[in-house]
Amino acid sequence: MSDPAATDRPDYARLFRLDARTAVVVGGGSGIGRESALALAAQGARVIVADRDRAAAEATCAIGAAAGQSVDDAPGWGDLESYELDILDEAAVQRAADELGVVDALVVTAGVNVRKRILDYSGEEFDRVVGLNLRAHFDLIRAFGRGMAQRGRGSIIAFSSMRAVLVEPGQSVYAATKAGLVQLLRTAAAELGPSGVRCNAIAPGVVDTPLTTQIKSNTEWANAYAHANALHRWAHPSELAGAVVFLASDASSYVTGSQLFVDAGWTAIDGRFDPPA
């Protein structure tokens, strides 16, 4: 007996494949951005590695090219191309959206944090964190989201943080921008959803990146963070790449307006103390 739903069922063997699609990874020159770019390319996407550091973007492309050549039986790696982009320059962001043409997925990993208590924060530091973590994302969503809406498809993925819901002393402005980014993406999901554009956030826990160098340099601090989650360890940037591929691919075709936590259970458990009973 034939399955009446068979004609609507996707090819599950290729559910995560991104062949013939273009992804732009902002901040792709290092850390989570680099691993995201490599993972997307491994699924067949043409990846534009955008970073204000052109040399770092080119290094990501070189790593991807070498990895693609070393795998003979893979379904096929996509090409990686470097693109110099300062997302604090609104005109440059719009120019990138115009020059890069059809973009199926926009992944934004760039971010900054100034760890200071509120009474010690300066106005300049506030503006710097808000400028990159929120305003620049706003500009990227507008610039790339417009073309996606016109074409009737697209996926916008940005990185919030577990700090969007859990705070600690010294994280005021960073946490505020990450919570604001989630609401910005949710609103974009509501506004662009009828045009076929999905918008989602990924919220990492503690990840070994340049942004967390200050913590990693303090053994007591680093160990405390490791033991605050259920897996009792830090994440490698590569462990965030799977979430990026999921949200960029058809595997998440019905997912929008969501925040996906990749935090080893930090937000699910107390984590600070293991009671005797």
Q: Rounded CA gap, 129 and 31, in Å?
A: 19
**Bridge partner residues of 204 (DSSP):** 262
For residue 195, count other CB atoms closer than 10 A to its CB: 15
Contact (Cβ atoms closer than 8 angstroms) between residue 248 and residue 45: yes
How does DSSP classify residue 193? Answer: G
Q: Rounded CA gap, 188 and 192, in Å?
A: 6
Q: Residue 61 contacts by C-beta under 8 Å, 6 or more apart in sequence? A: 49, 80, 81, 82
Task: Look up residue 256 and give its two tokens.
Answer: 């929008």
Q: Rounded CA gap, 67 and 77, in Å?
A: 9
How does DSSP classify residue 235? Answer: B
Catalytic residue among 83, 121, 174, 254: 174
First vs last Cα of the chain: how many Å apart?
55
Is 174 known to be catalytic?
Answer: yes
Contact (Cβ atoms closer than 8 angstroms) between residue 162 and residue 267: yes
- Where in the sequence numbering do the catalytic residues fall? 174
